[in-house]
């Protein structure tokens, strides 16, 4: 094939139903094809700058390009499994490379000339059996991949963006005491972000004490359960995702992917700003959620009670809302980690999700595209949890968020 034919094939793939309607993936494929035609295999930093407008991209800080490459391979595979099944040439991107390879499809027609020979019948039957088994496996895989369709998770498989899971981690900082000769890592419950740390450091007048932020955070015990629940759901559906912590979140990534954010509210970093536009206000000092907008129960306060290591009651919160670029954000959180764990489980456990979706539809007439839910969660030592839906509100004109140069999430 000459260059013009290869570019024509590229556009044919991009326009196909199996490839989808994502402009980002279309631009990525076009760029990689042109680079390969010029015998140039681009690096991640080049792709980030040319396709995503991210000249400051650092591959060690973000898996963005690798996730998009994974999904692009998946889209090419879907095309050749369906609309492109009879194409004479196959376009692919080998794993571990960003180069595009074009090869002629090989077809073995000899078997059709031998079917009349008796000695070929046994291998033919065996081959047919294997083919049927492979087809059954493929159909099972397709069924599993449809697990996310027709649920609150459907955006993850329909809007064309990769998925990143962000876990809320506790803010910690380094303290060096030159007078006493001590170096310590500090976890201060009153310091939960870089901005709060800067406020604290500016007011810290201790002699001989130097404090500095640390580039990582402290994950709480519930994080293991969150990863387990999401992995079980997404792996069963064949849905690839990356896992990172809020302390490694770069606001510039907000437009590039779908987000599943899980954690205690105080650990959510910039995503905590969601409560500026929610029906609920977050009272950090009182460790409570307050219903304050447009409801008969306005002013109602929801705050944990009991012993966190014994019997206690917490409140979990879930919100699904749009990002700034037709992507979607899923927020699962709690005042304590108990609420965060159960709010996520309510939507990763199939029977619980179906029950919650049915209850939402019963109250609102449908499960809206965007909504927020408050749960009461009770249990003993973060186990044997029971959950009760307290409030659910549709986001009638859902807020769209972006990040300003100062790092704040704003409402558009």
Q: For residues 126 and 90, which has the higher predicted lDDT (pLDDT)?
A: 90
The three-class DSSP label of residue 336 is: coil
Q: What DSSP state is assigned to residue 170?
A: B
Q: Give tens-digit pLDDT for 104-157.
A: 876 544 434 444 444 445 555 566 666 655 555 444 444 445 568 788 999 998
The predicted pLDDT at position 125 comes to: 58
Percent of the chain with pLDDT over 70: 83
The predicted pLDDT at position 119 comes to: 44
The pLDDT-based confidence of 384 (bands split at 50, 70, 90) is low
CA distance 156 to 347: 14
The predicted pLDDT at position 314 comes to: 95
Mean pLDDT, residues 377-397 = 82
From residue 292, alpha-carbon distances to 232, 298, 358 in Å are 36, 5, 26
The pLDDT-based confidence of 71 (bands split at 50, 70, 90) is confident
Mean pLDDT, residues 284-288 = 90
Q: Give tens-digit pLDDT for 219-235.
A: 888 898 999 999 999 98
The predicted pLDDT at position 135 comes to: 55
Answer whether residue 389 shows pLDDT above 50: yes
Rounded to 10 deg, the angle between the 23-37 and 3-15 helix axes is 160
Q: Centre a 10 Å sphere on the Cβ of residue 389 and count the other Cβ atoms it contains.
A: 16
From residue 86, alpha-carbon distances to 16, 83, 89, 127, 138 in Å are 14, 8, 9, 21, 19
pTM above 0.75, yes or no: no
The predicted pLDDT at position 239 comes to: 86
DSSP letters spanning 192-230: -SHHHHHHHHHH---TTEEEEE-SS-B--THHHHHHHHH
Answer whether residue 210 shows pLDDT above 60: yes
Q: Give me Rg for the CA atoms of the chain.
A: 26
Phi-psi region of 372 (alpha: psi -120 to 50; beta: other; left: phi over 0): beta
The predicted pLDDT at position 375 comes to: 96
From residue 113, alpha-carbon distances to 20, 109, 117, 118, 176 in Å are 39, 7, 9, 12, 81
CA distance 72 to 51: 14
Percent of the chain with pLDDT over 90: 35
The predicted pLDDT at position 139 comes to: 47
Please check whether residue 160 is in contact with residue 24, taking contact to mean a CB–CB distance below 8 angstroms.
yes
The predicted pLDDT at position 376 comes to: 96
- Sequence-ordered list of residues with C-beta below 8 angstroms from that of 322, at least 6 positions apart, any chain: 328, 329, 370, 398, 399, 400, 401
Placement of tokens 């991009």 in the chain: 14
The predicted pLDDT at position 372 comes to: 96
Mean pLDDT (the chain) is 83
What backbone torsions phi and psi does residue 400 show, to the nearest 5 degrees?
-110, 135
Best CA proximity match to 285, nearest among 195, 410, 181, 192: 192
Element (H, E) at 262: strand 258-264
What backbone torsions phi and psi does residue 121 show, to the nearest 5 degrees?
-65, -45
Q: Give tens-digit pLDDT for 170-203.
A: 888 999 988 888 899 998 877 877 778 889 999 9
The predicted pLDDT at position 368 comes to: 94
CA distance 238 to 262: 21
Q: For residues 161 and 109, which has the higher predicted lDDT (pLDDT)?
A: 161
Start-end of H helices in 213-304 = 222-236
The predicted pLDDT at position 132 comes to: 57
Mean pLDDT, residues 229-254 = 86
CA distance 101 to 94: 7
The predicted pLDDT at position 395 comes to: 87
Element (H, E) at 139: helix 121-145
Please check whether residue 246 is in contact with residue 269, taking contact to mean a CB–CB distance below 8 angstroms.
yes
The predicted pLDDT at position 117 comes to: 47
The predicted pLDDT at position 294 comes to: 59
Q: Give the lowest-confidence range in 87-96, 245-254, 264-273.
A: 245-254
């Amino acid at each position: 094939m000459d260059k013009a034919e290869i570019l024509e094939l590229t556009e044919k793939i991009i326009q196909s139903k199996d490839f989808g309607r994502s402009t980002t993936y279309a631009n990525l494929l076009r760029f990689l094809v042109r680079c390969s035609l010029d015998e140039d295999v681009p690096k991640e930093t080049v792709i980030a700058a040319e396709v995503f407008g991210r000249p400051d991209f650092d591959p060690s800080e973000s898996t963005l390009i690798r996730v998009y490459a994974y999904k692009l391979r998946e889209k090419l595979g879907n095309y050749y499994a369906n609309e492109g099944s009879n194409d004479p040439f196959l376009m692919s991107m080998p794993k571990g490379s960003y180069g595009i390879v074009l090869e002629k499809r090989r077809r073995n027609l000899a078997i059709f000339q031998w079917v009349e020979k008796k000695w070929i019948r046994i291998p033919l039957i065996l081959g047919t059996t294997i083919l049927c088994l492979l087809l059954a496996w493929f159909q099972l895989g397709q069924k599993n991949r449809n697990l996310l369709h027709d649920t609150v998770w459907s955006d993850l498989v329909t809007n064309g963006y990769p998925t990143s899971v962000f876990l809320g981690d506790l803010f910690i900082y380094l303290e060096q005491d030159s007078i006493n000769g001590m170096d310590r890592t500090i976890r201060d419950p009153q310091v939960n972000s870089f901005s709060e740390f800067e406020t604290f450091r500016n007011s810290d007048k201790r002699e001989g004490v130097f404090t500095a932020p640390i580039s990582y955070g402290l994950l709480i015990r519930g994080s293991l359960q969150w990863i387990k629940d999401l992995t079980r759901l997404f792996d069963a559906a064949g849905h690839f995702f990356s896992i990172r912590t809020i302390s490694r979140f770069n606001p510039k990534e907000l437009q590039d992917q779908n987000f599943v954010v899980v954690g205690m509210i105080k650990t959510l970093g910039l995503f905590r700003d969601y409560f500026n536009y929610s029906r609920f206000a977050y009272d950090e000092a009182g460790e409570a959620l307050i219903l304050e907008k447009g409801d008969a129960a306005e002013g109602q306060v929801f705050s944990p009670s009991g012993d966190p290591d014994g019997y206690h009651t917490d409140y979990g919160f879930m919100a699904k809302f749009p990002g700034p670029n037709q992507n979607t954000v899923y927020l699962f959180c709690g005042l304590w980690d108990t609420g965060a764990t159960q709010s996520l489980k309510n939507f990763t456990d199939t029977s619980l999700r179906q029950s919650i979706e049915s209850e939402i539809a019963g109250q609102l007439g449908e499960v809206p595209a965007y909504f927020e839910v408050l749960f009461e969660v009770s249990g003993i030592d973060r186990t044997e949890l029971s959950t009760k839906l307290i409030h659910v509100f549709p986001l009638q004109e859902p807020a769209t968020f972006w990040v300003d140069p100062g790092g704040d999430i704003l409402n558009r």
